[in-house]
Amino acid sequence: MYLLQKLSQENGPLCVGLDTDPSYLPPEVLSCYDSPALATLAYNEAIISNLKNYACCCKVQIAYYEAMGLDGMRTYSKTLKAVRAKGLPVIADIKRGDIADTAKAYARAHFSGDFEADIITVNPYMGFDTLEPFTDWCKKGKGIFALLRTSNPGMKDLEALELKDGGIVLDRVGAELKRLAEQFGASEDEASPIGAVVGCTEESNARELRDAYPNIFFLIPGYGAQGGQASIAATLLQKASGTVNSSRGILCSWKKDASLEEKRAKGALTLDDIVESAITACNSAKQDLLGAMRG
């Protein structure tokens, strides 16, 4: 998390979301590979190797790879390795949460071996004892982003319920993350391995959450294709700061790229074309976010 905080300052706060569903690739590119999983791997690797300093990390959403079965899991493993080989932290967006020995197995699964990531997302719903096996690994250099305030409409169903003793459900998660972050000596200057997922939704909410958790580094989804604005992200990017994820806005940018109009119409797009488009989208997102941060 320390490296991520540093790179977010140096390279800008963009997190490239490699949530690569094969349907995001044009058929003429897909057909060049033996399987959708191999096409996805080629696309991911090409993006990763051209990222330069446009991003501070990549987030890989495991659901899309699980959906491709065993081939997909191979692509997932190789994608994680490619990001780490580039010196960028990789966030495994796995939202795991379970008890006791099972949580220990998940921690082993995603902090070592074929699926080793630097940071993982976790779901705290079953209780705070479920976080322990993950925070044990945080003592050895790994990090977590626990779900705090998600960006979907359904967040009102449980996360936002008002409690008898005051506050809402997600405040309890926040209080526990604050406690854990303090144990790790978190400050605004040096975040701890205990991060939080905070959706890029509305300004007043962003301000409130940033002020409530000044020492916690945020993973910020919802920017770009999901509708969140750079100005709201900029609010969340104060104090201990954070990283702003964009997935489809980058991966599908070739679909709206004016310079590719003719090739697109002809069904003549190449891997290079769509990767170039994605990298241009990364740079635009980076500039958009930096501009908003400058005010």
Q: How many residues bind its own copies (CB under 8 A)?
A: 59
The reply to whether 27 sits near its own copies by the rule CB under 8 A is no
The reply to whether 243 sits near its own copies by the rule CB under 8 A is no
Nearest to 188 by CA among 210, 219, 220: 210
CA angle 100, 101, 106 (to 5 degrees): 100
The reply to whether 35 sits near its own copies by the rule CB under 8 A is no
The reply to whether 74 sits near its own copies by the rule CB under 8 A is yes
DSSP single-letter state for residue 228? B
The reply to whether 126 sits near its own copies by the rule CB under 8 A is yes
Q: Is 95 a catalytic residue?
A: yes
CA quadruple 79, 40, 252, 46: dihedral, nearest 10: 60
Report the nearest approach of its own copies to the CB of residue 241 (Å).
Answer: 24
Alpha helices in 50-141 (DSSP H): 62-66, 69-85, 100-111, 132-138
The reply to whether 63 sits near its own copies by the rule CB under 8 A is yes
The reply to whether 155 sits near its own copies by the rule CB under 8 A is yes
**Among the listed residues 28, 50, 98, 280, the single contact to its own copies using CB under 8 A:** 98
Report the nearest approach of its own copies to the CB of residue 155 (Å).
Answer: 5
- In the chain, the N- to C-terminal Cα span, in Å, equals 26
* C-alpha R_g of the chain: 19
**Is the distance from CB of 123 to CB of 96 less than 8 angstroms?**
yes
The reply to whether 165 sits near its own copies by the rule CB under 8 A is yes
The reply to whether 255 sits near its own copies by the rule CB under 8 A is no
Pick the catalytic residue from 95, 178, 239, 286.
95
Q: What is the distance between the alpha carbons of residues 88 and 80, in angstroms, rounded to a whole number?
A: 10
By CB under 8 A, name the binding residues for its own copies.
19, 21, 61, 63-64, 66-70, 72-74, 77, 95-103, 105-106, 108-110, 113-115, 123-130, 147, 150-159, 161-165, 169, 172-173, 176
Active site residues: 95
